[in-house]
Structure 1
Amino acid sequence: MRKGKGRFTGILMTACLLMGVLVPGTASAANGSVTIDYNNTIAAGHADVFGGVGNGPNDAASIQQLKDVGFKVVRVEAWMEHLIENTNLTDYKNNVNDIQNPDNWNWGAIDPLNTWYDKGFKIMLLFTGAPPWLTHSGGVSGVPKDWGVYEDIVKKVYQRYHGKVSLVEIWNEPDNPSALNLSGSPYESGNNHPGAYNEIFYHVTNAVRATDTQNTVELGGPTLAGGVGWPAYVTYILDDPRNRDNFNFISFHVYNGEGTISNVVNDWRGWAANRGKPNLPVHVTEWNYDAGINGPTNGGTPINTTGDETISYVGLKLNDMFKVGTEGAYLFSLGKYDHNYPFWHIEQGGVLSPKTRTYRLMSTKVGLGDGDSSIKSTSYSNISSALGAVNSTGDKIGVLVNRDTTTNTASVTLNNTGLADGNATLEIYEASVNNDATSIKENVAVTVNNGSITTTLNIPANSVIGFKVKGTSGSSEAIFYEDIDYGGASGSLGKGNYTLGQLQAAGIQNDWVTSLKIPSGWTVEMYEHDNYLGTKWTFTSDQPWIGDEVNDQASSIKIY
Structure 2
Amino acid sequence: MTDERRGNRGFRSIHVSPDFRRVNNPHASPSLFGISNEPSKDHAEQVYPLLAESGFRFQRGTIHVNRLFDERFPDATLTDWVQNTGGMRDPGSWDWRPLEWLTNAKRHGIVAQLNILHVPRWLSHNGEVTGVPLDWGAWDDIIGVIVSRHADLIDSVDVLNEPLTPAMLDISNTKYQSTERAAGELYRRTARCIRTHLPDVLIGGPGEDRRGGEFGSIGTILRDQRIPDDELQFLSYHAYHPDPGSDLRLDDLHALIRSSGRPPLPVYLNEWNHDYDPDSAAAEIVGRRAVAYTLRTLLSLAQHPQLAGAAFMSALPGDIELDPDQNAPGLRLNQAIYDWNDHEQATLWPQAAAFRLLSVHCRLGEGPFRSHSLQMTANETIAAFTGACGVRTVIVVNTSPDALLIETRDPVFNGLRSSLLDADGATTEGPPSDVIVSPFGAAALTLAAP
Place the TM-score, normalised by the shorter chain, in its bin: 0.7 to 0.9
Change in CA separation of 1:430 and 1:185 when aligned onto 2, cut-off 3 Å: same
Match of 2:288 among 304, 308, 321: 308
Change in CA separation of 1:263 and 1:173 when aligned onto 2, cut-off 3 Å: closer
Paired residue secondary structure (1:315): helix
Alignment deviations for residues 503-534 of structure 1 (CA, whole Å, 9 cap, x no partner): xxxxxxxxxxxxxxxxxxxxxxxxxxxxxxxx
| Distance in 2 between residues matched to 1:232 and 1:293, nearest whole Å | 23
With normalisation by structure 1, the TM-score equals 0.69
Residue 97 (structure 1) shift: 2.5
| Distance in 2 between residues matched to 1:433 and 1:81, nearest whole Å | 40
Give the alignment of 1:9-20 within 5 angstroms.
none
Give the alignment of 1:431-510 within 5 angstroms.
431-433=421-423, 436-437=426-427, 440-444=429-433, 457-471=435-449, 476=450
Paired residue secondary structure (2:207): strand
1:186 paired with 2:168, answer: no
Q: Is contact 1:33–1:383 with CA below 8 Å preserved after alignment?
A: no
Alignment deviations for residues 365-411 of structure 1 (CA, whole Å, 9 cap, x no partner): 11111110011134465643121111101111111111100112345
Q: Which amino acid aligns with 1:248?
A: Q
Q: Is contact 2:208–2:215 with CA below 8 Å preserved after alignment?
A: no
Residue 306 (structure 1) shift: 4.2
Q: Is contact 1:306–1:355 with CA below 8 Å preserved after alignment?
A: no
Paired residue secondary structure (2:444): strand
Paired residue secondary structure (1:364): helix
Match of 1:329 among 310, 314, 334: 310
Residue 34 (structure 1) shift: 4.4
Match of 2:352 among 353, 356, 370: 356
Q: Which amino acid aligns with 1:56?
A: P
What is residue 377 of structure 1 aligned with on the other side?
373
Give the alignment of 1:398-437 within 5 angstroms.
398-410=394-406, 424-433=414-423, 436-437=426-427
Q: Which amino acid aligns with 2:338?
A: I
Residue 412 (structure 1) shift: 6.1
Q: Which amino acid aligns with 1:408?
A: L
Q: Is contact 2:288–2:424 with CA below 8 Å preserved after alignment?
A: no
Question: Is there any run of 5+ residues in structure 1 with no aligned partner, and where?
Answer: 1-27, 295-299, 418-422, 445-455, 477-560
Match of 2:277 among 292, 295, 299: 292
Q: More strand per residue: 1 or 2? A: 1
Paired residue secondary structure (1:443): coil
1:201 paired with 2:191, answer: no
Paired residue secondary structure (2:414): strand
| Distance in 2 between residues matched to 1:252 and 1:338, nearest whole Å | 27
| Distance in 2 between residues matched to 1:185 and 1:351, nearest whole Å | 45
1:56 paired with 2:36, answer: no
What is residue 242 of structure 1 aligned with on the other side?
226
Paired residue secondary structure (2:356): helix
Give the alignment of 1:202-241 within 5 angstroms.
202-213=188-199, 215=200, 217-227=201-211, 230-231=214-215, 233-241=217-225
Question: Is there any run of 5+ residues in structure 2 with no aligned partner, and where?
Answer: 1-9, 321-331
Q: More helix per residue: 1 or 2? A: 2
Change in CA separation of 1:256 and 1:262 when aligned onto 2, cut-off 3 Å: closer
Q: Which amino acid aligns with 1:200?
A: L
What is residue 389 of structure 1 aligned with on the other side?
385
Paired residue secondary structure (1:41): coil
With normalisation by structure 2, the TM-score equals 0.85
| Distance in 1 between residues matched to 2:161 and 2:390, nearest whole Å | 38
Residue 289 (structure 1) shift: 1.4
Residue 361 (structure 1) shift: 0.5
| Distance in 2 between residues matched to 1:352 and 1:136, nearest whole Å | 40
Q: Is contact 2:245–2:300 with CA below 8 Å preserved after alignment?
A: yes
Alignment deviations for residues 322-354 of structure 1 (CA, whole Å, 9 cap, x no partner): 011322111111122425431322222422211
Paired residue secondary structure (2:272): strand
Alignment deviations for residues 42-71 of structure 1 (CA, whole Å, 9 cap, x no partner): 112110111112333432222101110111
What is residue 97 of structure 2 aligned with on the other side?
108
Q: Is contact 1:36–1:413 with CA below 8 Å preserved after alignment?
A: no
Residue 231 (structure 1) shift: 3.8
| Distance in 2 between residues matched to 1:154 and 1:460, nearest whole Å | 50
Paired residue secondary structure (1:263): coil
| Distance in 1 between residues matched to 2:181 and 2:410, nearest whole Å | 50
Change in CA separation of 1:195 and 1:414 when aligned onto 2, cut-off 3 Å: farther
Q: Is contact 1:35–1:379 with CA below 8 Å preserved after alignment?
A: no
Change in CA separation of 1:304 and 1:155 when aligned onto 2, cut-off 3 Å: farther
Q: Which amino acid aligns with 1:79?
A: H
Alignment deviations for residues 223-250 of structure 1 (CA, whole Å, 9 cap, x no partner): 1123465346333222223324121111
Paired residue secondary structure (1:362): helix
| Distance in 2 between residues matched to 1:433 and 1:464, nearest whole Å | 8
Q: Tell me the C-alpha RMSD between the 2 structures.
A: 2.5
1:76 paired with 2:61, answer: yes
| Distance in 2 between residues matched to 1:183 and 1:208, nearest whole Å | 27
Q: Which amino acid aligns with 1:99?
A: M
What is residue 362 of structure 2 aligned with on the other side?
366
| Distance in 2 between residues matched to 1:121 and 1:265, nearest whole Å | 26
Q: Is contact 1:407–1:459 with CA below 8 Å preserved after alignment?
A: yes
| Distance in 2 between residues matched to 1:378 and 1:224, nearest whole Å | 28
1:344 paired with 2:336, answer: yes
The higher radius of gyration belongs to 1
Match of 1:119 among 98, 105, 108: 108
| Distance in 1 between residues matched to 2:262 and 2:421, nearest whole Å | 39
Q: Which amino acid aligns with 1:373?
A: F
Q: Which amino acid aligns with 2:382?
A: A
| Distance in 1 between residues matched to 2:217 and 2:258, nearest whole Å | 14
Paired residue secondary structure (1:39): coil
Residue 29 (structure 1) shift: 7.1
Residue 435 (structure 1) shift: 6.2
What is residue 42 of structure 1 aligned with on the other side?
24
Q: Is contact 2:350–2:424 with CA below 8 Å preserved after alignment?
A: no
Q: Which amino acid aligns with 1:76?
A: G
What is residue 479 of structure 1 aligned with on the other side?
none
